[in-house]
Chains A and B, each alone.
Chain A
Amino acid sequence: MAKHDTPLLDELESGPWPSFVTDIKRQAEVNPDCWDILGQLELSFKDRITHWKHGGIVGVFGYGGGIVGRYSDVPKLFPGVEHFHTVRVNQPASKYYSTENLRALMKLWDKHGSGMTNMHGSTGDIILLGCRTEALEPFFWDLTHDLKQDLGGSGSNLRTPANCLGESRCEWSCYDTEEACHHLTMHYQDEIHRPAFPYKFKFKFSGCPNDCVAALARSDFAVIGNWRDDIQMDQAEVKAYVDGTTIPNGGAHRDGDWGTFDIQKEVIDLCPTECMWMEGDELKIDNSECTRCMHCINVMPKALRPGKEKGASISIGAKAPILDGAQFATLIIPFIKVTKDDEFESVIDVIEEVWDWWMTVGKNRERVGETIMRVGLPTFIKVMGLDPIPQMVKEPRSNPYVFWSEEEVPGGFERDVDAFRKKHAA
């Protein structure tokens, strides 16, 4: 039986799509506090203002992240959501679960919280919605001791690292994203649980340039699988695609009537760098011009594969905020080996170089990409001890970024103007 009249929210159940209102009503039958979520949201719709307050001195002892405080600003009207804190639980790499684990997690959340979840939040974490302050420590104890799971990151912490399925399911993965993500999650536990930086910092690990976790768009530090030799080709399989024996795109879109496969139209003409062509019935690729867009490999997976010398590229500085605009990451390290053989030290060295600089130079609430934009890419790559490369140029000839320093110029910047004028008369 509904506790509040919610005509505006009920409207959201009338469409053909699944409704969160229906979900909350169902949960409210189990946990009556959830009626107050609907009551407060209905009031927010009427008042056209949120009635949630967020943040505060709330969390579990010793942790500076993982709990996001939420309070109602009308607790007398809706006591069930007086405290409604969000708990972020670190998801397993690639989000592989056993049903046993999911059931245990839900049992725990029904015991200590509202039973409402957001699987998964945009952070990638397991988001558990709605917990009273006094229930946080008992929940945390059970989570860590019984389930052996831990909280994720929030605030100015290293956020919970995320990765694609990697080598566990994907033949294109150029490194073990799960191992890298897990290793760095364990290596940086202190940074995940306690504030360390001017603002949030995110790692994401994609196994290939398809970038299934959107690392390039959404992480401060994107490790994206790559190769540095040539795309592997099987010319017999190329012919099989051309003559229709093999279905393109791995069989995706096969229900539509797309006509016969046209390699010129569907692959070669769509190559962004125009580095492919046919010679007779053989496909040719100028690999030095390939930008790893992955289109040809996606369309003809049996004929084309990533190269054999695999590793990753590191791009730095993406963000996807609501305020001040989104920003893609900039390629900083074109190729690096990413392997457990060295305990991922090669990647860790780059991470810590960035952190040491950003922690000093970055302003409060400034993402590392914003700091790079403020000081300029030349300064950043100098700090990182890197040489500029053409891939760092955003807009050639309209936004020059390579400057000579005085010591690089024979004779320095001092010159005899009179001698110059004699040589170059007006």
Chain B
Amino acid sequence: MAMSDQEIKDAILEKALKNKKAQLYVKDFYKCGPDAKARKIKNLANELVTEAKMVFFSSGSTTMYVHADRQRSEEVN
């Protein structure tokens, strides 16, 4: 049975929290909803940002996602 949006969001958050690297590309979340289209995963990851559960990390040319609990201050740059 296909995963619900909430289940996919929970899986994304878990991946963002437990992954070795804190900064993840949107593509790294595709497996969190194996049956969902890539654009669906992107939209759900972005919803998590608006819910303040994740934050964007931008290098300028690329944008990644970081779990809100794993963000560090800009001094890490």
**Nearest chain B residue, comparing its CB with the CB of A55:** B59
Q: Are B39 and A154 in contact (CB under 8 A)?
A: no
**Nearest chain B residue, comparing its CB with the CB of A363:** B27
Q: Are B77 and A195 in contact (CB under 8 A)?
A: no
Q: Which residues of B contact A355 (CB under 8 A)?
A: 39
Write the B1-40 contact mask toward A (1 if CB under 8 angstroms, else 0).
0000000000000000000000001111010000001110
Write the B30-70 contact mask toward A (1 if CB under 8 angstroms, else 0).
10000001110011001001100001111111111110000
Given contacts A56-B74, A196-B39, A356-B39, contact A155 B60 (CB under 8 A): yes
Q: Are B63 and A71 in contact (CB under 8 A)?
A: no
Write the A352-393 contact mask toward B (1 if CB under 8 angstroms, else 0).
000110011011110000000000000000000000000000
Given contacts A56-B77, A57-B71, A57-B74, contact A64 B56 (CB under 8 A): yes
Alpha-carbon distance between A58 and B30 when the two chains are bound, in angstroms: 25
Alpha-carbon distance between A364 and B42 when the two chains are bound, in angstroms: 14
Question: Which chain A residues numbered 49 to 108 have a C-beta less than 8 Å away from chain B?
Answer: 53-59, 62-65, 67-69, 71, 86
Q: Are A154 and B27 in contact (CB under 8 A)?
A: no
Q: Which residues of A contact B64 (CB under 8 A)?
A: 195
Given contacts A198-B27, A360-B38, contact A65 B58 (CB under 8 A): yes
Given contacts A64-B56, A65-B63, A68-B60, contact A194 B49 (CB under 8 A): yes
Q: Are A364 and B27 in contact (CB under 8 A)?
A: yes
Query: What's the interface size class on A, roughly?
Result: 35 or more
**Nearest chain A residue, comparing its CB with the CB of B55:** A57
**Nearest chain B residue, comparing its CB with the CB of A58:** B74
Alpha-carbon distance between A356 and B60 when the two chains are bound, in angstroms: 24
- Flag whether A157 is at the interface (Cβ < 8 A): yes
**Nearest chain A residue, comparing its CB with the CB of B52:** A61
Q: Could you say which of B26, B55, B59 contacts A196, with CB atoms under 8 Å apart? A: B26
Interface centre among B37, B57, B58, B74 (most CB of A within 10 A): B58
- Flag whether A226 is at the interface (Cβ < 8 A): no
Q: Which residues of B contact A197 (CB under 8 A)?
A: 26
In the assembled complex, the CB of B30 is this many whole angstroms from the nearest CB of chain A, namely 8
In the assembled complex, the CB of B72 is this many whole angstroms from the nearest CB of chain A, namely 8
Alpha-carbon distance between A205 and B63 when the two chains are bound, in angstroms: 25
- Flag whether A203 is at the interface (Cβ < 8 A): no
**Nearest chain A residue, comparing its CB with the CB of B39:** A359
Alpha-carbon distance between A199 and B27 when the two chains are bound, in angstroms: 10
A contacts, CB < 8 Å to B: 53-59, 62-65, 67-69, 71, 86, 133, 154-157, 190, 194-200, 355-356, 359-360, 362-365
10 smallest CB-CB distances across A and B, nearest first, come from: A155-B63, A55-B59, A195-B63, A359-B38, A64-B56, A68-B60, A56-B77, A155-B58, A156-B63, A364-B25
15 interchain pairs (CB within 8 A)?
A54-B60, A55-B59, A56-B57, A56-B58, A63-B56, A65-B63, A67-B58, A155-B56, A155-B58, A155-B60, A155-B61, A195-B42, A195-B63, A200-B62, A356-B38
A56-B58, A57-B72 are known; give 20 further A-B pairs, CB within 8 A. Answer: A55-B59, A57-B57, A57-B71, A59-B58, A64-B46, A64-B49, A64-B58, A133-B74, A155-B59, A155-B60, A156-B26, A194-B49, A194-B56, A195-B64, A195-B65, A199-B61, A199-B62, A356-B37, A362-B27, A364-B27
